[in-house]
């Protein structure tokens, strides 16, 4: 599937008795210590980054990630008898918006729609990411943009410097507005503003079709590059009157055929260089050849190794490990000559 809009963490700057605040937080919630940079990289939706200032106001801060919402964090601190807050400052709420391709087309269209009354009473202005960290204006929502999938953590390095600051609307209304139009805005950034339907045909003389289909679904889910519209068994003819069983997947994606072909080649080879399967790609009746990737250097085997390394570098650590486990299982099954 494809996630286009989601919320980010809240950021609280608190001033008071640092040790008392720290004790109250750790007593009520799971808390981890961080630097400011690592907190921004590691905090997820629904969590709160807390910056603790001491009473001495020497400019020093200690940062925590609290696994709870900001209102629950503040309630716990207020209800803690020994914890007295002097000041509380909230950074703007954050919405992440994923884009692909031409970011200016996407930002321009969202800005135009909001300025044109898409949400009555809302105002919008462009800013830079660094302005978010120093903002003290109330009721501001920061729409931050990224090319990264939204199903994992979004690090500072994943975020684009362009930010849309929206005022005059509740967070819920802006969230609903962007989600309802998210796919259309996302498509605005595509080069030809259209999606592509392709067919993937899996060939495996060992017969482990479902294992290979699951490997592809893992990649699809990790990178969030499209969706499967349908799948099922089929036949192809290696030679006249010699049918070969295959497994078909209908893919709907915003990627080009060449980029999808590169991903599939990366799935064809194991880490040790063994060929695991054939993933043929079709756009309509046209078979997409790997020849378009020859300029990457070397023959098919070397291209497979390079494509596999590139693919794994883009996956989350969890999904890399999952693919490695499935890959090793396939190799064991082939050695034993049977299915588990």
CATH number assigned to the domain comprising residue 240? 3.30.70
Give the torsion sign (CA, 315, 316, 321, 325): negative
On whether both 182 and 252 belong to a single domain, the answer is: no
Provide the whole-model pTM: 0.86
CA 27 – CA 78 distance, rounded (Å): 13
pLDDT score of 15 more than 90: no
Torsions phi, psi of 32, nearest 5? -125, 145
On whether both 74 and 108 belong to a single domain, the answer is: no
pLDDT in tens, 73-123: 999 998 887 778 888 888 889 999 999 989 999 999 999 999 998 999 999
On whether both 85 and 99 belong to a single domain, the answer is: no
Mean pLDDT of the chain: 89
Give the torsion sign (CA, 13, 16, 17, 23): negative
On whether both 172 and 204 belong to a single domain, the answer is: no
On whether both 135 and 179 belong to a single domain, the answer is: yes
On whether both 134 and 60 belong to a single domain, the answer is: no
Q: How confident is the model at residue 247 (pLDDT cuts 50, 70, 90)?
A: very high
User: Which of residues 90, 106, 131 is at a domain's end?
Assistant: 90
On whether both 165 and 230 belong to a single domain, the answer is: no
On whether both 105 and 83 belong to a single domain, the answer is: no
On whether both 146 and 18 belong to a single domain, the answer is: no
User: Which of residues 155, 188, 221 is at a domain's end?
Assistant: 188
Query: Can you tell me the mean pLDDT for 244-268?
Result: 94
Query: Can you tell me the mean pLDDT for 210-238?
Result: 92
pLDDT for the residue 136: 64
Q: What is the domain count for the chain?
A: 3
pLDDT for the residue 143: 96
User: Which of residues 188, 222, 245 is at a domain's end?
Assistant: 188
pLDDT in tens, 184-197: 999 999 877 789 99
Domain coverage including residue 320: 196-336
């Amino acid at each position: 599937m494809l996630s286009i809009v989601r919320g980010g963490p809240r950021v609280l700057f608190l001033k008071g008795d640092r040790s008392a605040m720290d004790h109250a937080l750790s007593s009520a919630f799971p808390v981890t210590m961080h630097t400011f940079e690592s907190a921004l990289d590691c905090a997820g939706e629904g969590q709160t980054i807390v910056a603790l200032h001491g009473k001495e106001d020497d400019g020093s801060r200690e940062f925590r990630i609290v696994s709870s919402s900001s209102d629950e964090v503040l309630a716990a601190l207020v209800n803690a008898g020994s914890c007295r807050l002097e000041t509380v400052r909230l950074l703007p709420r954050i919405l992440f918006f994923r884009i692909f391709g031409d970011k200016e087309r996407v930002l321009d269209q969202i800005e135009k729609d909001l300025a044109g009354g898409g949400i009555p009473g809302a105002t919008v202005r462009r800013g830079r990411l660094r302005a978010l960290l120093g903002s003290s204006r109330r009721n501001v929502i920061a729409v931050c943009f990224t090319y990264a999938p939204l199903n994992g953590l979004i690090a500072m390095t994943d975020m684009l410097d362009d930010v849309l600051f929206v005022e005059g609307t509740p967070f819920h209304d802006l969230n609903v507005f962007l989600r309802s139009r998210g796919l259309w805005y996302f498509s605005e950034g595509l080069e030809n503003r259209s999606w592509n339907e392709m067919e993937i045909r899996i060939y495996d003389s060992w017969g482990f079709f479902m294992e290979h289909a699951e490997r592809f679904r893992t990649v699809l889910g990790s990178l969030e590059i499209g969706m499967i519209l349908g799948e099922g068994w089929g036949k192809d003819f290696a030679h006249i009157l010699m049918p070969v069983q295959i497994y078909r997947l209908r893919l709907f994606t915003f990627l080009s055929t060449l980029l999808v072909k590169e991903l599939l080649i990366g799935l064809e080879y194991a880490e040790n260089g063994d060929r695991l399967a054939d993933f043929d790609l079709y756009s309509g009746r046209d078979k997409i050849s790997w020849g378009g990737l020859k300029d990457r250097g070397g023959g098919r085997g070397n291209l497979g190794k390079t494509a596999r390394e590139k693919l794994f570098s883009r996956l989350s650590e969890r999904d890399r490990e999952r693919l490695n486990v499935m890959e090793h299982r396939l190799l064991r099954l082939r050695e034993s000559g049977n299915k588990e």
